[in-house]
Amino acid sequence: MQKKIFRQHYGFLLIFPLLFFQTNQQPADNLTILNHLASNLMSKIVDQVAPDATDEIMIQSQSRQNPGNWWVENWLVKELSRRGLTKIYVQQQKSFVNGATIEFLINKLGVTYLPTDNKKYAIRQFIINLDVRLLDGGAGFVKSLDNVSEQFADTVQVNLLKQLEDKSYPFTSAVAPMNQGIRKYVEPFVVMATTAGVIVMFFQFRSK
C-alpha cells in the first residue's frame, strides 16, 4: 500500500498576516486571498516532491474543464521556478529519467458567502481542495497520492461583496446570501403554510 507523503491541511485560518488585517480598511479582494492560499498549498506540495534543481517536472491536470485549471497550473509553475527548476512541462507527453510528474484534480476552488445574524454582513468562506498524485518520472510508478486543502474565512459587509470579486476569474464570485431581514419573516411563514397544508390534507383524507 502506498504511503501518503502529502499531508491534509484543513481548518479555517482565522488569523493571517497584515494582508488580511481589517479595521476601517478595505478588505482584501477574493483573488488576493485565493492567491495567498494557493501559494501556501503549492509550497507544501512541492516540499513533498522535493525536486532537485536539475530535475524535469511534468504537470498534468485532470480538471481541464474547470475554470481554475490554468490558474492552479500557473501556481505550481511559479513555485517550482522559485525553487530554481527550469525544466517544467505542462500538459505534454514526454519521457525523462530524472524528475517527477505531478497530477492534480480540482475538487473545490472558490468562495462561498454565508449569512450572519447581522444582515449588513456576510461570511466569506474560501477553499482550495485538490487530489494530487505523484509519479516517478522514469519508471512511471505511483509514488504517492493524497488530498490537500487550504481554507480561510472572514466577515465583510454585504455591500462590498461584488467589489471584491474579479470577473476574469469565475471562482472569485458567488451568490450573495439572502437578506436576513426578509428571511426572518419568510421562514416562519413557510413553516406555517406547510403545517396548515398537512392538516388540511389529513382531514380531507379522513372525510373520504
Same domain, 133 and 205: no
Q: What is the DSSP track for 107-167?
A: EEEEEEEEE-SSTTEEEEEEEEEEEEEEEETTT--EEEEEEEEEEEEEEEEGGGGGGG--T
Q: Is a pLDDT exceeding 70 seen at residue 40?
A: yes
Confidence of residue 185 (pLDDT cuts 50, 70, 90): very low
pLDDT at 11: 44
Lowest mean pLDDT among 30-34, 72-76, 89-93, 126-130: 89-93
Same domain, 82 and 60: yes
Reference 116, options 183, 43, 49, 172; nearest CA is: 183
Provide the domain count of the chain. Answer: 2
The answer to the question of residue 142 being in a domain is yes
Give the range of the structural domain holding residue 75, as residue numbers without chain letter: 18-176
Q: What confidence tens digit (pLDDT) does each residue in 45-84 have?
A: 999 888 888 899 999 999 888 999 999 999 999 999 999 9
Q: Is a pLDDT exceeding 80 seen at residue 159?
A: yes
pLDDT at 197: 55
Is residue 132 within 8 A of residue 102, CB to CB? The reply is yes
User: What mean pLDDT is reported for the chain?
Assistant: 81
Same domain, 66 and 111: yes
Q: Is a pLDDT exceeding 70 seen at residue 100?
A: yes
Residue with cell 454565508: 114
Question: Phi and psi for 144 in degrees, rounded to 5?
Answer: -170, 160
Same domain, 41 and 129: yes
Same domain, 150 and 185: no
Rounded Cα distance between 147 and 130, Å, is: 6
The answer to the question of residue 84 being in a domain is yes
Three cell numbers at 51? Answer: 525536486
